[in-house]
């Protein structure tokens, strides 16, 4: 999947950039709850997802009362 073909925003995920969105889509993740259930370590292991994207996801999750898997 080319990142140009990836939408700027997926589901209820905050804007984290096309490479990170592409990585999540390839893993079948389309919601913030699904991303939170993976946890920081698994997200960072995905090609295209860096510390900044994870921080954005964690902040958005906290605002919605979701917690990241330890």
Nearest to 12 by CA among 54, 50, 52, 61: 61
- The arithmetic mean of pLDDT across residues 25-48, rounded, is 95
**Whole-angstrom distance between the N-terminal and C-terminal Cα of the chain?**
30
Which structure tokens are listed for 69? 């898997």
Question: Is residue 60's pLDDT more than 80?
Answer: yes
Distance CA 67, CA 36 (A): 6
Find the farthest-apart pair of alpha carbons in the chain and give their distance in angstroms, rounded.
33
CB 58 within 8 A of CB 64: no
Question: Is residue 23's pLDDT more than 80?
Answer: yes
pTM: 0.85
């Amino acid at each position: 999947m080319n990142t140009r073909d990836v939408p700027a925003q997926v589901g209820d995920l905050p804007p984290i950039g096309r490479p990170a969105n592409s990585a999540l889509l390839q893993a079948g993740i389309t919601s913030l709850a699904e991303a939170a259930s993976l946890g920081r370590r698994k997200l960072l292991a995905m090609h295209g997802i860096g510390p900044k994207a994870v921080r954005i996801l964690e902040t958005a999750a906290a605002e919605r009362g979701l917690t990241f898997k330890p």
